[in-house]
Structure 1
Amino acid sequence: MAEQVKEAPAELIQTRVYELRPNKTMRKVLDEACDYRRYCWNQGLALWNEMYKARQTLKSSLSTDFKKLTEEQKVLLKDKPSPSERRVRNMLVADKKDWQYTQSARILQLAISDLGKAWNNFFDKAQPGWCKPKFRSKREARQGFKSDRSKIKDGILYLERARGSRVPKDQWRGFKLSEKPLSDEFGVVSYFKEKGRYYVAISYKIKAEDVKLPDKTGKATAVDVNVGHFDYTGGRVNVLPKKLDRIYKKIKHYQRQLAKK
């Protein structure tokens, strides 16, 4: 008889948002990290656009058939590669300024990773709602950054400290969470600032069997008609008919025409 292989329990992602109350020193740390994230995103986007434009300009001047290209033309194409997350990240890391070493290297890595995902979503035909990545402004209502090296110990959240940080180790403080953390295992942590207040969003990895579901009340649940789908523990319900989706596309088209008049 063949042995039955036990499947690993399914894991779910639950995100909890906590408000942080940092002291003056750590507020400055968070503000600088937000500024650095915005700087990395804008630098990466500018380099991405520059590489793409140079590549397209070169290709338009060469033969459309790759097999007919000469060795010299192939070398030129190789010198002007298409932009990618890895290429852009490596170029930014190689060109880092001295002041950048005062910030965590993971901020740059995660910023370019998100930029690469944004470009993939933009070119993905299955997701027509995604817009082309735009430059970030310091005037935006929400500023933030991400970290994958944060740790929680005794209910205190600790942000990783860069080796070249100007803040001494004895002044580096953690952030007390307002609630007990759901688990010791979590993914990328998002820190953000909004209306002068600081928050953190932590995504926990929880086993499906440990998720506590609310008791059923027997009452109906209303869903906004603009929601394309409604996910719940038992499955997924499509609430946006295809006919209505086509109507929304027409409305979007005419709204653009009206905005230009």
Structure 2
Amino acid sequence: MIKTHRIKLYPNATMRRAFQLLFDYRRYCYNLALESWNGMYDESLFMDDKSLRPNERKVRNELVNNKQDWQYELSARVLQLAVHDLAQGWRNFFNPQMPNHGRPRFKSKKRSRNTFTTDRARVVNKKLRIDRPRGCTSWYDIRMAEPVRWAGQLKTATVVEEADGYYVALVVEVDESVAVKAGHTVTGVDANIARFDYRDATGYQSVSTMSAKLLRLYDRITHYQRLLARKRVANPSNFRSQNYRATRAKLQRDYQKVTRIQMDLLHKFTHQLVQTNDVIVIEDLDNLHMHMNKRLAKNLHRSLFGKFKKLMQYKCAWSGVKLVMVDRFYPSTQRCSQCSFVKTGADRIALEGNRRHHTGHDQYLCYQCGASMRRDQNAVENLIQYAMVN
């Protein structure tokens, strides 16, 4: 089983300079590999020979054979793994199950994220030791904010620079078996804009994903984005002044705060679900096409439907919980959980409710058995019944 632990790093001045060199070197290797990949592909089209098509091995060998002298002073694993990331990007681009994955593009120094990956890192005396390049005399272990959470083989270490410092994502292979739970406790989670509705032992509960603090941060982000846009319009040739960089740093910090608040909420909620339930039912929502609604796109993006599904998938696998993915066309909102009547046509419940029957957005009224309940409670019950049948 593969697990990842993200830890903050506290490098000294020497290792901070080394990090910056490795960030630039990884971007250089990726761009060089993409240029070689495109050149090989164009050559295969010109010669009409499919055997000339590029792959990870061909591009890696070309970059290794044409190394400059200065490249031997930096980690060789950064080059190898940069080419591997590029090959994975092309595989994702041609994967029909990932229709929203874009084509690999050249990385810009101004807009790209500073990161590099190595598979030669080790943890020595609760400190991170990355592979020292050839001929380097001053090299230090890096203090970590906490010890590694899991014991196992360290596969890769990815160092990332963020607004408040450096972080490392340690990928650990853990040898442990998971016992599947009996399946007595079943719950369903109905994903809505700004909240998740579910049922536990005490009744129906709701978890908000749009707190007042998050709304204030979103307003500040909008304010800083407008300031930066005005500076770019006022002086398009030389807008990167000291004030521009300071405003951009504030914007990055606010984005980081938003991400941390959202992930903290999701991790606590998903942990609670897998600890208290044996079977969890969620909807396999079509996030890509849902975001095409121009009125709801921003709120749908902030509701974190896709991230919630990913967290549930790996946490259920870790805890032995059965995760049931309900088909996206299952009418959990239109179906009556009491008599199984499904509303169709003009009787359907829309986002604003149903004008024909004078019902609101959060109200469900069955036209056959007369049952009246909250719309989200009815959807949760339908999800639980789906798991019972399937």
- Whether these two folds match at TM > 0.5 is yes
Output the amino acid matched with 2:153: E
Aligned residue in 2 for 1:207? 175
Output the amino acid matched with 1:180: P
Output the amino acid matched with 1:20: L
Alignment of 1:189 with 2:178, yes or no, is: no
Output the amino acid matched with 2:130: L
Larger Rg: 2
What are the equivalent positions in structure 2 for 1:1-261 lying under 5 Å apart? 12-59=1-48, 77=49, 81-140=52-111, 142-165=113-136, 168=137, 171-181=138-148, 182-195=150-163, 197-209=165-177, 216-217=275-276, 226=287, 227=305, 229=309, 230-231=312-313, 232-233=316-317, 234-238=321-325, 241-242=328-329
Q: Is the 8 A contact 2:155 2:170 kept in 1?
A: yes
- Displacement of 1:155 in angstroms is 0.6
Larger relative contact order (Cα-Cα within 8 Å, sequence gap ≥ 6): 1
SS of aligned partner of 1:207: coil
Gaps of 5+ in 1: 1-11, 60-76, 245-261
Q: Which segment drifts farther, 175-184 or 140-149?
A: 175-184
Output the amino acid matched with 1:137: S
Output the amino acid matched with 2:328: P
- Displacement of 1:221 in angstroms is 9.3
Query: Within 1, Cα distance between the matches of 2:160 and 2:62?
Result: 27
- Displacement of 1:146 in angstroms is 0.3
Q: Is the 8 A contact 1:141 1:195 kept in 2?
A: no
Residues 224-248 of structure 1, C-alpha deviation per residue, up to 9 Å, x if partnerless? 954464412324332561589xxxx
Identity of aligned residues (%): 35
Gaps of 5+ in 2: 180-270, 288-304, 332-390
SS of aligned partner of 1:208: coil
Q: Which segment drifts farther, 147-156 or 117-126?
A: 117-126
User: CA RMSD of the aligned region, Å?
Assistant: 2.8
Q: Is the 8 A contact 1:106 1:147 kept in 2?
A: yes
- Displacement of 1:129 in angstroms is 2.3
Output the amino acid matched with 2:25: Y
SS of aligned partner of 1:128: coil
Query: Within 1, Cα distance between the matches of 2:22 and 2:323?
Result: 38
SS of aligned partner of 2:323: strand
Q: Is the 8 A contact 1:156 1:177 kept in 2?
A: yes
- Displacement of 1:207 in angstroms is 3.0
Query: Within 1, Cα distance between the matches of 2:27 and 2:330?
Result: 40
Q: Which segment drifts farther, 226-235 or 103-112?
A: 226-235
- Matched positions, count: 209
Q: In the superposition, relative to structure 1, how do residues 194 and 144 fare at CA in structure 2: closer, same or farther (>3 Å)?
A: same
- Displacement of 1:42 in angstroms is 0.3
Output the amino acid matched with 1:191: V
Output the amino acid matched with 1:202: L
Aligned residue in 2 for 1:66? none
SS of aligned partner of 2:174: strand
Output the amino acid matched with 2:141: G
Residues 9-59 of structure 1, C-alpha deviation per residue, up to 9 Å, x if partnerless? xxx222111111111110000110011000000000011011111211222
Query: Within 2, Cα distance between the matches of 1:139 and 1:240?
Result: 42
